[in-house]
Structure 1
Amino acid sequence: MARNNARYGREDVEAYDRPRRHTRPRTKDRPTYEDAVDGIVVTVDRGRFTVHIDGPDGRREIWAVKARPLGRKGVVTGDHVRVVGDTSGIDGALARIVEVRERTTVLRRTADDDDPVERVLVANAEQLVVVTALADPEPRHGLIDRALVAAYDAGMQPLLCLTKADLADPEVLLSTYRSLGVPWVVTRSLEGDLGELKERLVGKTSVLLGHSGVGKSTLVNALVPSAAREVGHVNAVTGRGRHTSTSALMLALPDGEGWVIDTPGIRSFGLAHVEPDHLIEAFPDLDEMTEDCPRGCTHGSDEPECGLDEAIERGEADPERVESFRRLLAARSVTDY
């Protein structure tokens, strides 16, 4: 029926009534996605997700997007998800992620220490491998400390992986972290024998993290020959490496022995989200000694009447271990790392 409007003629579409919006009755019924397939997100690229799924023909890789009902819920590398749609994996096929399973661990960081927004880097990893070169570039304790703090906060097991031991003595660095009880492996050549490191990775999902140029991508290529990760070099003037990885990538170890996640080389790792009380929980022996601390005590070296100091005076705490813990605590606010 034409509108009574002289501006429109009968040949104009605008001359006719349009259907009303929201004419379909709303329903509380929601799809159950009974045909959804389980998968693991292995990388994220501009809103597209690469997902590994297991099928009757073995593991295959598919592309997916996030379904609208998930809203702003983030999906990151390592997430266990359920997908529907075309999961064939052929060129042009696209599935939808309709559910993100509950995460067991979450590795977070903030861009800076005054940034209130947390950014999730990886989900569901059990081990954080802090890759540090003993020389070329020189080890930087600030990042190691911060990575350890992030691992303890996330409930992940830390592991120090010291590379280029043919250029420097690892004992100098290890003496700093021995009192914390952090396990370590030492490699002399990144392309050489990695047997000890491989043993530490078996059956786990491990995140490799470190500054650019320390050899993460070279390690990944040695552990997963098919990875073909680009390898960078250290700048002779600045002593820093060039970013070669641009996004976190999850790779299956040969023979299904576990997963490794290669992360981009980082130069900023804010810890504004980490609370002192949460950090000390990673050290049960020290945590017990803080039960009588005054309210609001951060357990730092400048805190009056801290239970850690009293425990040292009574001979119940190892001063070196307490000092190492307080160094990690201070790493939350250090700016040069």
Structure 2
Amino acid sequence: MKTKIIAICFMLTTLSNAQVQNAEKVWIDTDIAIGKLGRDVDDGIALIMALKSDELEIVGISLVRWPNYGYKVTQKLLGWYNNGPQIPVYRGVTSTDIRTYHQNEAVEAMAEALRKHEMTILALGPVSNIALMLQRYPELAPRIKNIVWCAGRQPNQKFAPGNGKVNVCDCNFEEDPEAAQILISSGVNISLASYEPASNIYLSKTDIAPLRKSDNKGDRWLYKQLSKWLKIWRVSIGSKEGFIPFDAITLGSFIREDYMQKYENIPVQIYKLKNDSWLWSLKKVKPYLLVSESFKGSHKVDYFYHTDKEYKQFILDYLLTASPPSKGEITMLDINRR
């Protein structure tokens, strides 16, 4: 009996080590602001999902836009949801004008990590930190496997969630379009997964209700933040379905591409056109990050344009369970549902 127990423990240890070795190394660069008055919650959802995923090894987290608040809330979420090795968190750019920055801890830490590992960067906010790193250390560009970014659209596409009457900005891009141009010109692989593939995935009050009675303090805190965000969406843009967790779809384009559809190697350009989101800017024109097969140019990206509705259950499985089902188990559940 003792021999069998030892053998089982050895097998479990071996399996755990294999999962760690097979996990994809990722760096998360985020403007996380969940819990901050009036700020979105999807960065927080994506981070929680990433922390629970056995398919990812998070090498580090860098913060952009409001790094001081981001640092506090990220440490809070790590305390509740990180069951693995300690993950370092670094403060980055606070302004969208990267020309005023010469050095910050996020840029230096990201560069040092790339010297040690090839890895994917999951970009959930403006790409100011990443662009600054590429400017300072262009020799590290080949070490980046892919930049998976929540930004971009096709021509003439409106970002109009909820009742469709209010156009919102492509904020992660519009906050720092110069940084986006640096990324595009660097030659790194880029995948865009933003509004279009997320536009049919809404989380409702019913969906998040189980979090309210969870034994996990973090889940109960999360429920409060998501509930507030539901109210903001209902009042500001007339959304009766709930809210769209954009960054959770961006994450899904990397770890569960089987739920997604995309255009591969599609030309990408930045254009200045008539402003379609007056609530965010009073300027007559604004920059757009666009993809189209009709564009001429050598810069190309992968662009995700659709997500199967079943992916919503994948998000909920990650949020509502301490240990989400494995990739294989979720696939079988999906097959059974269909």
- Alignment TM-score, normalising by the size of structure 2: 0.33
Q: Which has more radius of gyration?
A: 1
Structure number having the greater helix percentage:
2
**Bigger fraction of residues in strand:** 1
